[in-house]
Chains A and B, each alone.
Chain A
Amino acid sequence: MLKKSFLVGLFAIVGSTAFAHEAKASDPQIAHIAYTAGQIDVAAAKLALAKTTNPDVRAFAELMARDHAAVNDQALALVKRLEVTPEANATSDALTTQASKIEAHLKTLSGAAFDRAYVENEVAYHRTVNEALRKELIPSAHNGELKSLLETGLTLFQEHQAHAEHLAQMVK
């Protein structure tokens, strides 16, 4: 319980601070934030696939690795075509720092404790990223194709969030 609260609490803090000042983010910054967020979830999925034996958690992690990689491949193709260079910024840096802490914590766990912590983190992470997409990143995006990709991403990640919430009930 303590560990679960730790993770959720940590994300609540980062969620509110990391995305707090990005209402005016530029497209190159938004692209960097979205790509970084995707990479973080792919890395978490790979850690889960290396650690868990729970078939439901494995299926979820496989889905995360596949779907987030697909969005990021498309994002890379888009920025290349638009000749935009993704630009690191405070939000993407905060996401990376945060993810390192959570990854270090997850690595200390195993078995059912790992499954619970991973899935709880996925719930909190998708909730945070989806809110940022909906309230800040999508409204701030200028390029129509970038905005469209973010919107498709939001629909996808809302599915992931619902899936993670359902899974959280199963592994708790």
Chain B
Amino acid sequence: MSVVPLSRRALLVVVVGTSFLPVLAARAEARTHVIVVDKMKFGSAPDGIRVGDTVVWANHDLFRHTATARDKSFDVDLKPNEEGRVTLIKPGRIDVYCRFHPGMTATFIVGP
């Protein structure tokens, strides 16, 4: 086992320590989450969606779809090869469906 001089170890700790800071800081800021829509399905939603974050639906499918909230809080039109986005303003469970193909559904949780 090699011995790292104390000063070097201290430096490492500092470097490692500060590298966490931007991550911690970013947590408090709004993030963007991409959900891919393809082959008549909504891709799975990432964990950790919170109020203030934005969800982007990227429609890679051949067909026009929508991402429509069951509670009517948003209705995003998704033409083929286009994206649509919504910024989430309240916490809770969101059920989404496609107005054109209502068998397409998805659920995600918005944390506070």
Contacts and interface: CB of A to CB of B under 8 A. Distances in A.
Interface of A: 63, 66-67, 70-71, 73-74, 148, 151-152, 155-156, 158-159, 162-163
A163 B102 CA distance: 9
B101 A152 contact: no
Interface string B40-68: 10000000000000000000001110000
B54 to A, nearest CB: 28
Given A156-B63, A158-B103, A70 B40 contact: no
B39 interface: yes
A66 B39 contact: no
Nearest to B98: A159
A159 B62 contact: no
Contacts of B62: 70-71, 73-74, 152
A159 B80 contact: no
Main secondary structure of the interface of A (DSSP, over half): helix
Contacts of A155: 39-40, 103
Given A152-B40, A159-B40, A70 B103 contact: no
Interface residues of B, number: 11
Contacts of B40: 152, 155-156, 159
B64 to A, nearest CB: 6
B39 A70 contact: no
Closest 8 CB pairs of A and B: A159-B101, A155-B40, A70-B62, A152-B39, A159-B103, A74-B62, A70-B63, A67-B63
Contacts, number: 32
Contacts of B63: 66-67, 70, 156
Interface of B: 39-40, 62-64, 80, 100-104
Main SS class of interface, B? loop
Contacts of A63: 100
Nearest to B40: A155
B45 to A, nearest CB: 20
Given A71-B62, A152-B39, A152-B40, 18 more contacts: A63-B100, A66-B63, A66-B64, A67-B63, A70-B62, A70-B63, A70-B80, A73-B62, A74-B62, A148-B39, A152-B62, A155-B40, A155-B103, A156-B40, A156-B101, A159-B104, A162-B103, A163-B102
25 contacts: A63-B100, A66-B63, A66-B64, A67-B63, A70-B62, A70-B63, A70-B80, A71-B62, A74-B62, A148-B39, A151-B39, A152-B39, A152-B40, A152-B62, A155-B39, A155-B40, A155-B103, A156-B63, A156-B101, A158-B103, A159-B40, A159-B100, A159-B101, A159-B103, A162-B102
